[in-house]
Amino acid sequence: MEETDLRRLINNVKRGRLSRRGFVKRMAAVGIAAPIANQLLSLSGVAMAATPFDYKPTKRGGGGTLKVLWWQAPTLLNPHFATGTKDQDGSRIFYQPLAGWDADGNLIPQLAAEIPSLENGGVAKDGTSVTWKLKKGVKWHDGQPFTADDVVFNWAYASNPATAAVTSGSYTYNKAIKVDDYTVRVEFNKPTPFWADPFVGTNGMLIPKHIFEPFIGAKAHSAPANLKPVGTGPFKFKSFRPSEYVSGVINTDYYEPNKPYFDAIEMKGGGDATSAARAVLETAEYDYAWNLQVEWTVLKQLEKAGKGVIELISSANVEHIQLNNTDPNKVVDGQRSSLKAPHPTLTDPAVRQALSLLIDKDSVQKYIYGPEAVATPNYVNAPPRYYSKNTHWEFNIAKANEILDKAGYKKGSDGIRAKNGNKLKYVFQTSINGPRQKNQEIVKQACAKAGIDIVIKAIPASVFFSSDVGNPDTYPKFYADLQMYTTGSNYPDPWQWMQSFVSTQASQKSNNWEGRNITRWQSPAYDKLYAEAGNEMDPVKRTAMLIKLNDMVVDNVVVIPELHRMNVSAQVKNLVTRLSGWEDDMWDVASWYRNA
Amino acid sequence: MSRAYLFRRTLIAIPSLLGISAIIFSILAAAPGDPFGQLVTNPNVPPAVIAQLRASLGLNQPIYLRYFHWLIAMLHGQWGFSFTSRMDVATLIMQRLPVTLAVLGSAEVIAVLIAVPVGILAAVKPYSLFDQIANTFAYVGFALPTFFTGILAILLFSVRLHWLPFVFQDHVSGTGWVWIWKEVKQSIMPIMVLALFQGAPLVRFVRSSMLDVIRLDYVTTARAKGIGKRRVLMRHVVRNGLIPVVTLVALQLPGVFGGAIVTEQIFRVPGMGSLLISALLENDTPVIMAITFVFAILVIVFNLIADLLYGWLDPRINLR
């Protein structure tokens, strides 16, 4: 669907000629899922009507204890220092942001009274500010009122470099200003089309000013409340043991009526993913188990016990293979894979094209990941409004051979193709992980049939994913020809994530390999479009630009996307949860309940 | 056994402990990764913040400086703060100690209580049916690792029979008998798995040690004097045969403190082993150092105790 068509339809909705539902249906017909369609409407100034969550309980409490199992456990309970999802999940039981994202990428108010938009005046037309109205009458767990001062304090706390908050990225290029006790304005340094970052979602959880004020800056890490949260959430803090156990009891002053249903919550940590799945699916000792990175066949077997169900939630994660644009075997200025040494063969479009034809994504999905992942041609897979329809993929060994023949790569006596003395022999690295090694094997076999020799290398995850400058085997160094791992945008807006292909972001010695562009692809056209998308306030245009960015990456085979991965969790049969791929699992635990 | 001996051993322990701590520290420092490894893959966290976080933990200092900081604090009785939870390491360890002692301690006690009589009886009538059965069990316990017996127990008692829970909870609700019953139910499996593992080698050890003694001339003499069979066994054989067993048990005791990494992981027992493994996974150096260092002290102390006990129980052995 072209941009003009989209615009016409949206205008029809605005003028009342087309119902929201009609619009959503039409979008569905062209492959744009309902949530995205809704998002398009809201971004274009049509009020957002998020699908209401069907919450059945008619009174607060009475649900007993909710027992959840995290096979990694929180180590501290301050969201500004959360080093992983486990810490964010532990914090989210007690702390809340102004708004959260539902599974479809819609903004749902939590501590905000309403979602700012262009037509309610919340979002400035030039995109330089957004004004949030806060819920009135919300109390912190110690009885103090929640006000705009708390919100502004969180900005000051997180943006202070001495605090070293991991959320600081969301509070650096903006400023929070108190308008009145229940109104806060966020001012951005430049037009910011994606304004829903500060105070929203995982990075937006708010901590109380009256408790944390003495601990701003360098003292932040010694605040006792880092381990004893006082929040606004549905449960009040009861006890915490790092890496093991978090518990909370019902907050009877919670601001949403009839919520929460459960009288208490227990989050138990430790063990491994498979036995966590077992404790929910087979024995129902626990109600919910998080992040089950377990082979599909095993999970399916456990589900047969009939006590629980597996939940699959779409996220932005994509398992993909990166092609190195620089030569990992040549040392220039004391580093391998230098921008000054282009890769002898992988920079050849023919070779890249051939490689992309040699990845049997269907087999990888069918035999390794099952429904936990879906084969995809795209790097950006979610939310669906950013899913490009212009790309496609195929597995075709004959065609790959043909392309390589035409490009002049001749098979030698060893069956490996070469041109000008450069053999098509590649080191393909990834982390040690059962499914990934099987995946490597599938790629190796297909490539062998096209005269490309793949040398498999598996690196312990703790090394591969580390930033250790002294270690040659980390993924940011990429001292190999090909590498594979999963990455994804944390936000339902992929712009920031797409910086991983911006030329100046190339991961090099000069930036301690902290640059986000791991493949070191250099494309002025991409850089230009990326910069433009960062300033584009028109949501429809911006969406089109982001899709175009994805297409450039896919068409040039900068990376070969393999599978769009799902978040996998398990829950007992009568439990009703509300999960979202854009949020912590605990983001709306207030709405969880048990069916009678 | 002299006071000088004790003094000398204690002096020798100091360089050993220093060496151990230096080695562990440098291995940890040389190992890849740090507590903020996860953040590196997150495009929303600026590198400057990660650098600042590292600096706040002193991770940007050279290794030898970090080691001396740690050593000086340790000498002052300060165990430092956990990198990940920023909690005092001593508090963290004290949280885990009671469960560890309860579970591993009972496993050790049960192992000893069962293994010693079984080993003795098996030695009294070697190659009898009882001996054969005891030996079979000992070999099974010896050969099967806890991750296998543990999962086997879970599949049988939790999944098949639904008798026992397999997730260990440190915070069991209820009071009085209900509470005790719940605690017992959840502890049976981990304790039994560990007891089998610890008890099996002990049975073999007791048996062979008894067999060594039972063949000695003084036992034959005692029998020839007409002393009752029972009395010969208890007063002459067991007393001497168990001397090496006492040493073995003394050497096993530090392990009770150190926790059982695998078993704790399987049953989610929040003990020292699981604390150590999660600290290792998160590169939480102060916690790892504290646990391993305390463990090293205990090993050295219990070695000394074992030596002293040995000399005390068997005067033929002369400690100098």
Q: Domains (ranges, CATH) in chain B? A: 3-75 (no CATH), 93-313 (1.10.3720.10)
- As a residue count, chain B comes to 320
* Tokens describing residue A524: 């002025």
The amino acid at B2: S
> Any chain A CB within 8 A of the CB of B157?
no
**What whole-number distance in Å separates Cα of residue A523 and Cα of residue A503?**
6
Chain B CB contacts of A90 below 8 Å: none
> Residue A453, SS3?
strand
Question: Highest mean pLDDT range out of A99-113, B56-70, B249-263?
Answer: A99-113
* Tokens describing residue A461: 């995850």
Mean pLDDT rounded to a whole number for chain B: 85
Residue B69 pLDDT level (bands cut at 50, 70, 90): confident
pLDDT for res A249: 96
* Tokens describing residue A337: 């894979």
**What whole-number distance in Å separates Cα of residue A283 and Cα of residue B160?**
9
pLDDT along chain A (596 residues), means of 10: 66 65 65 61 54 84 93 89 87 95 88 90 89 95 95 94 87 92 93 90 94 90 91 95 92 93 92 90 93 87 92 91 94 90 94 95 90 93 87 94 94 92 94 90 95 93 77 90 91 90 92 88 96 87 92 96 93 93 92 90
Expressed in angstroms, the distance from the first to the final Cα of chain A is: 45
How many angstroms separate the CA of residue B120 from the nearest CA in chain A? 38
pLDDT for res A27: 67
Q: Quick one: closest CA in A to B57, which residue?
A: A221
What is the CA B107 to chain-centroid distance, rounded? Answer: 10
**What whole-number distance in Å separates Cα of residue A464 and Cα of residue A472?**
9
Please state whether A156 falls in left (phi above 0), alpha (psi between -120 and 50) or beta. alpha
**What whole-number distance in Å separates Cα of residue B267 and Cα of residue B263?**
6
CB A71 within 8 A of CB A269: yes
Interface test mutation site (partner A, options B88, B167, B269, max chain A beta carbons within 10 A): B167
Strands A453-459 and A482-487: unpaired
Residue B152, CA distances (Å) to A269, A431, B27, B164 in order: 22, 30, 35, 13
Chain A CB contacts of B43 below 8 Å: 490, 496-497, 499-500, 516
Q: What is the pTM of this model?
A: 0.83
The CA angle A284-A285-A290, to the nearest 5 degrees, is 80
What is the CA A378 to chain-centroid distance, rounded? Answer: 15
The CA angle B288-B292-B298, to the nearest 5 degrees, is 150
Select from B86, B165, B268 the Cβ nearest to the Cβ of A76.
B86
Contact: B270, A76; criterion CB under 8 Å? no
How many angstroms separate the CA of residue B78 from the nearest CA in chain A? 16
Contact: A279, B166; criterion CB under 8 Å? yes
The CA angle A283-A284-A290, to the nearest 5 degrees, is 115
- Name the A residues in 60-99 with CB < 8 Å from any B CB: 69, 72-73, 75-76, 83-84
- Name the A residues in 301-320 with CB < 8 Å from any B CB: 305
Q: Quick one: closest CA in A to B53, which residue?
A: A164
Select from B32, B52, B92 the Cβ nearest to the Cβ of A466.
B32
**What whole-number distance in Å separates Cα of residue A332 and Cα of residue A44?**
50
> Any chain B CB within 8 A of the CB of A456?
no
**What whole-number distance in Å separates Cα of residue A61 and Cα of residue A249?**
10
pLDDT for res A25: 65
**What whole-number distance in Å separates Cα of residue B249 and Cα of residue B130?**
24
**What whole-number distance in Å separates Cα of residue A375 and Cα of residue A394?**
11
- As a residue count, chain A comes to 596
- Name the A residues in 20-59 with CB < 8 Å from any B CB: none
* Tokens describing residue A121: 């005046």
Chain A CB contacts of B31 below 8 Å: 462
Select from A72, A76, A168 the Cβ nearest to the Cβ of B85.
A76
Residue B246: name the closest of B315, B309, B318 by CA. Answer: B309
* Per-residue three-class SS string for A292-311: CCCCHHHHHHHHCCCCEEEE
Phi, psi of B85 (to 5 degrees): -100, -10
Tokens 């099952």 sit on residue: A370
Interface test mutation site (partner A, options B27, B34, B40, max chain A beta carbons within 10 A): B40
Sheet holding A410-411, edge to edge: A410-411, A417-419, A422-423
Chain B CB contacts of A500 below 8 Å: 43
Which carries the bigger pLDDT value, residue B317 or residue A572?
A572
* Radius of gyration, CA atoms only, chain A: 25
Residue B249: name the closest of B203, B306, B290, B194 by CA. Answer: B306
Chain A CB contacts of B45 below 8 Å: 166, 168-169
* Residue A543 burial (CB count, 10 A): 23
Interface test mutation site (partner A, options B26, B38, B281, max chain A beta carbons within 10 A): B38
Chains A, B: CB pairs < 8 Å: 155
Q: Quick one: closest CA in A to B267, which residue?
A: A271
CB A184 within 8 A of CB A152: yes
CB A492 within 8 A of CB A478: no
**What whole-number distance in Å separates Cα of residue A55 and Cα of residue A44?**
29
Burial profile A560-574: b = 16 or more Cβ within 10 angstroms, e = fewer: bbbbbbbbbbbbbee
Q: What is the dihedral of CA B223, B228, B229, B231, to 10 degrees?
A: -100
Report, in this order, helix, strand and coil percent for chain A, each rounded to 5: 35, 20, 45
* Tokens describing residue A545: 């630009």
pLDDT for res A22: 67
Chain A CB contacts of B37 below 8 Å: 462, 465-467
DSSP chain B: --HHHHHHHHHHHHHHHHHHHHHHHHHHHHSS--TTHHHHT-TTS-HHHHHHHHHHTTTTS-HHHHHHHHHHHHHTT---B-TTT--BHHHHHHHHHHHHHHHHHHHHHHHHHHHHHHHHHHHHSTTSHHHHHHHHHHHHHHHS-HHHHHHHHIIIIIIIS--S--S--SS----HHHHHHHHHHHHHHHHHHHHHHHHHHHHHHHHHHHHHHHTSHHHHHHHHTT--HHHIIIIIIIHHHTHHHHHHHHHHHHHHHH--HHHHHHHT--SHHHHHHHHHHTT-HHHHHHHHHHHHHHHHHHHHHHHHHHHHH-TTS---
pLDDT for res A30: 61
HSE of A104 in the Cβ direction (CA atoms, 13 Å)?
20
The answer for residues whose C-beta is within 8 angstroms of residue A433's C-beta and 6 or more apart is A461
Residue A109: name the closest of A121, A101, A119, A118 by CA. Answer: A101
> Any chain A CB within 8 A of the CB of B274?
yes
Expressed in angstroms, the distance from the first to the final Cα of chain B is: 7
Contact: A283, B158; criterion CB under 8 Å? yes
- Name the A residues in 118-177 with CB < 8 Å from any B CB: 161-162, 164-166, 168-170, 172
**Region B221-247 average pLDDT:** 85
Contact: A487, B270; criterion CB under 8 Å? no
Phi, psi of A91 (to 5 degrees): -70, -35
